[in-house]
Amino acid sequence: MTNASGTPHPGPGAASPVYLDSASSEPLHPAAREVLLAALDQGYADPRRLHGPARSARLLLDNAREAVAGCLAVRPDEVTFTASGTDAVHRGLLGLHAGRARRGATIVHTAVEHSAVLHAAHWTAGEPVAVAVDRLGRVAPDEVARACHRAPGGATVAAVQSANHEVGTVQPVAAVAEALGEVPLFVDACASTGRVPLPGGWAAAAASAHKWGGPAGVGVLLVRKGARWRNPFPADDRVDERASGFENVPAALAAAAALQAVVAEHDMVGARQSALIDRIRAGVAAVPDVEVVGDTEDRLPHLVTFSCLYVDGEALVTELDRRGLGVASGSACTASTLEPSHVLTAMGVLTHGNVRVSLTRDTTAADVERFLAELPDVVRGIRAEIGL
């Protein structure tokens, strides 16, 4: 059954769909919705101009920048709004690389960075160097420093994520920064912003509003005051020289409002989500031939990933979705790449039948129990289809 828009609609008596993929995108926070609607009437003008509507838009943009800076404990002039989290990653990483072009040639990154980091690193002229991680997905600070020291032509920048987007493991960012010495550190904090405090030691960092309940299409680039950063892309005559294009002022303000709200409720929501994830980890581990991956303690509070032997990840996601449970698969082999998750491969863990469950701020214990009740039957059914 479908509704007027053609999307699936539960039939009579069917349970309501449960969305368990906030790591891809968190539903819009009520605080963001309220601010966005109000700002649409006041933030439409170009904040570069001098007339009244433009000054109003500029004030809103400045307010958004100050609010984000306050949440992340940075200076307002270190905050830039970009078109997406990916854009912020590219600008942050490549800007540090360009700023040290005379002192090095190589970008060093962990083997479990988001694809946005990997694509940016391979876009440069040099060949990037990947640093191995342990079975929990964590990198050793000394290994990053050693890779920078040995990098061909010298390292321009090291990229170490705040926490992994697939398995939730938190990285020792501050310790890495201390071990690096003069090599600047780029931190992809898209998965963790609003969930855990922003770590220190970075020269540039990136975040993405839709990951914390802000509108999609708003990224945040942080460039530390005094960092050797140079715009890697063509310049644009904007309010902020680190950005390009007309800023989406209402969306930036809504993103800031959502971040303020999630930071304020972090302790309560984080504790509840962490307990629910513990329940999922225990329940999933009871299913035969299933491996739960990532650190059990030093992790993001809302996310867990597991892999099921003899099961295809896409089949798992599809069948769970048919039963009203929306999850993600980080290692599903697709027709275009036929490659498993590079994160799980780098960790040396099972990549078959991978499922990532990530909770929203509204996920309930009943939602979790429903997922745990359905999962064993789904796994058994898929295995039975191939004669297991």
Residues labelled catalytic: 333
Rounded Cα distance, 191 and 161, in Å: 9
Rounded Cα distance, 107 and 15, in Å: 49
Task: Give the residue among 29, 70, 126, 20 at the shortest CA–CA distance from 367.
Answer: 20
Rounded Cα distance, 347 and 350, in Å: 9
- 2: which DSSP letter? B
Rounded Cα distance, 151 and 185, in Å: 15
Rounded Cα distance, 271 and 273, in Å: 6
Q: Is 83 left (phi over 0), alpha (psi -120 to 50) or beta?
A: alpha
Task: Give the residue among 123, 126, 136 at the shortest CA–CA distance from 86.
Answer: 123
Judged on CB neighbours under 10 Å (0-12, 13-18, 19+), 82 is buried
φ/ψ of residue 260, rounded to 5 = -60, -40
Rounded Cα distance, 58 and 67, in Å: 14
Beta bridge partners of 33: none
Count of residues making up the chain: 388
